[in-house]
Amino acid sequence: MKNVLALILAGGEGRRLSVLGEKRAKPAVPFAGKYRIIDFALSNCVNSGINTVAVIPQYNPRSLARHIGVGKPWDLDRAVGGIALLSPFVSTNGEMHWYKGTAEAVYHNLDFIQDSRVEQVLILSGDHVYIMHYEQMIEFHRRQGADITIGVTEVPWNETNRFGIVLLDNNNKVVAFEEKPSQPKGNLASMGIYAFNKNILFKVLEDAHRHGLQDFGSQIIPDAIDKYQIYGYKYQGYWRDVGTIEAYWQANMDLIIDLPPFNLYEPGSQVRTPSVDMPPVKLGPRAQISRSLISNGCIINGSVFNSVLSPHVYVEEGAQVIDSIVFDDTIIAKDAVVHRSVIDKKCYIAQGCCIGYGDDYVPNKDEPLYLNCGITVVGKGARLPPGLKVGRNCKIDSEVQESNFSTLFVPSGSSVAGRENILQARFQ
**Rounded to two decimals, what is the model's pTM?**
0.93
Q: How confident is the model at residue 263 (pLDDT cuts 50, 70, 90)?
A: confident
Give the chain's count of helices (H) and strands (E).
Answer: 9, 35
96 has a pLDDT exceeding 80: no
Over range 16-41, report the average pLDDT.
94
Radius of gyration of the chain (CA): 22
345 CB neighbour count, 10 Å cutoff: 20
CA angle 49, 52, 56 (to 5 degrees): 125
pLDDT at 218: 81
Q: Which domains does the chain have, with CATH numbers?
A: 4-253 (3.90.550.10), 282-427 (2.160.10.10)
326 has a pLDDT exceeding 80: yes
Q: For the chain, what is the mean pLDDT?
A: 92
Over range 47-70, report the average pLDDT.
93
Q: Which of 86, 84, 122, 115 is nearest to 4 (CA)?
A: 122
Q: Which of 14-28, 29-43, 278-292, 383-397 has the lowest mean pLDDT?
A: 14-28
Give 219's DSSP letter: I
Q: Pick the more confident residue, 237 or 23.
A: 237
95 has a pLDDT exceeding 70: no
61 has a pLDDT exceeding 90: no
420 has a pLDDT exceeding 80: no
pLDDT at 211: 86
Check: CB of residue 179 under 8 Å from CB of residue 164: yes
CA angle 306, 240, 20 (to 5 degrees): 65
pLDDT at 80: 85
| H-state helical runs in 192-334 | 198-210, 221-224, 245-253
d(CA 43, CA 35): 11
338 has a pLDDT exceeding 90: yes
Over range 272-290, report the average pLDDT.
95
Residues in the chain: 428
Phi, psi of 129 (to 5 degrees): -110, 120
pLDDT at 8: 97
pLDDT at 422: 42
d(CA 326, CA 339): 11
181 has a pLDDT exceeding 50: yes
Beta strands 354-355 and 337-339 are: parallel
In this predicted model, what pLDDT tens digit does every residue of 345-399 receive, in sequence order? 999 999 999 999 999 999 999 999 999 999 999 999 999 999 999 999 999 999 9
